[in-house]
């Protein structure tokens, strides 16, 4: 694990760049990470997904899959691909400061 400075905060990341301690995450970090993957600005729709993921992670202890986000958060899969183009499950977890979902390549 490495320690890096993201948006003025020291955080721990793994070899793939995912944060390893969700408690180190904040909204400034989310905005920075979104920019790193080509999302210029986080909209309210992005925040709905991010908030769901973080709340679900706190309850379940693992990052929700794309299917779970779609069914439980009520965000259609097509919209998730529009919000987080190409590999949305991976990108949603990354911006949310959570581990990569199981089964995600």
**pLDDT, tens only, 33-63:** 999 999 999 999 999 999 999 999 999 999 9
Q: Is 104 a catalytic residue?
A: yes
Q: Per the domain annotation, does 105 fall within a domain?
A: no
Task: Write out pLDDT tens, residues 15-34.
Answer: 999 999 999 999 999 999 99
* pLDDT the model gives residue 104: 65
| pLDDT surpasses 80 at 103 | no
Structural domain contains residue 29: yes
Q: What is the pLDDT of residue 105?
A: 55
Length in residues, the chain: 105
Predicted TM-score of the model (pTM): 0.93
Is residue 30 a part of any domain in this protein?
yes
* Residue 84, both tokens: 């987080």
Q: Indicate if the pLDDT at residue 64 is higher than 80.
A: yes
The whole domain housing 57 covers 2-95
DSSP string, 44-67: HHHHHHHHHHHHHHHHHSSPPPHH
Q: How many domains does the chain have?
A: 1
Q: Is residue 68 assigned to a domain? A: yes
Q: Which of 13, 99, 104, 105 is catalytic?
A: 104
Is 59 domain-assigned? Answer: yes
């Amino acid at each position: 694990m490495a320690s890096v400075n993201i948006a003025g905060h020291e955080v721990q990341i793994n070899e793939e760049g995912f944060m390893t301690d969700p408690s180190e995450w904040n909204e400034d970090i989310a905005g920075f990470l979104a920019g790193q993957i080509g999302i210029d600005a986080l909209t309210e729709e992005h925040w709905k997904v991010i908030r769901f993921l973080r709340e679900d992670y706190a309850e379940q202890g693992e990052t929700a899959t794309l299917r779970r986000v779609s069914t439980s958060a009520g965000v259609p899969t097509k919209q998730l691909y529009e919000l987080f183009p190409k590999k949305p499950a991976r990108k949603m977890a990354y911006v949310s400061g959570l581990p990569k979902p199981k089964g995600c390549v």
